[in-house]
Amino acid sequence: MKSLLKFTLFPLALFLAAGLTQADQHGDHGSHPVKVHSPFVRMMPPGQPNTAAFMTLENTGNTNLAVVAAESQVSKVVELHTHTMVEGVMQMREIEKIEIPAGQRTELKPGGLHIMLIGLHKPLSEEQVVEITLVYDDGSRQTIEAPVRHPGAEMMQSHGHGHHH
């Protein structure tokens, strides 16, 4: 009886361990219903303590999702922001979430939605890759890699036919 129990538990334990490992290593990449296109962080002039990350989020799943937080090691604070007109002046403000309805794309771009990196620990260098973790309202997390680009490169980015993978 004892050996039979061992025999049945062992494959189960292996299965569980494999499942956990897979979630740890691959949960952030590829399998998430939200695909992240062309992420980049804006290169700022020297001495600027803040910058922002932009990207297009595509929800390939059947359920609405929203980014409710973002995390990064490069700055003290990471906030979700948008731009709004306040008495004729464009202002940034923090928002609670960035919604990505099922089957749709949400664009984070200069002058609109963005992920604000506040209080950079050290100046960013061009082509440096910044890791940003997106936290979704379903509890899932997705870590993306966003290269640092000059503002001039943004134009190339949005109007060109670049292949960035």
User: Which positions touch Cu ion (CB under 5 A)?
Assistant: 81, 92, 116
Per DSSP, the residues of 52-102 read: EEEEEEEE-SSS-EEEEEEEESSEEEEEEEEEEEETTEEEEEE-S-EEE-T
| First-to-last C-alpha distance (Å) of the chain | 54
CA distance 119 to 147: 18
State the nearest-atom distance from the C-beta of 136 to Cu ion, in Å: 20
Shortest Cβ distance from residue 8 to Cu ion (Å)?
A: 55
Residue nearer to Cu ion on the CB measure, 118 or 135: 118
- Measured from the CB of residue 114, what is the shortest distance to Cu ion in angstroms? 6
Nearest distance from C-beta of residue 144 to Cu ion, angstroms: 18
Residue 116 or 132 having the CB closest to Cu ion: 116
Instruction: Compare residues 66 and 108 and give the one whose CB is closer to Cu ion.
Output: 108
Q: What count of other Cβ atoms lies within 10 Å of the Cβ of residue 157?
A: 15
Nearer to Cu ion, 32 or 75 (CB): 75
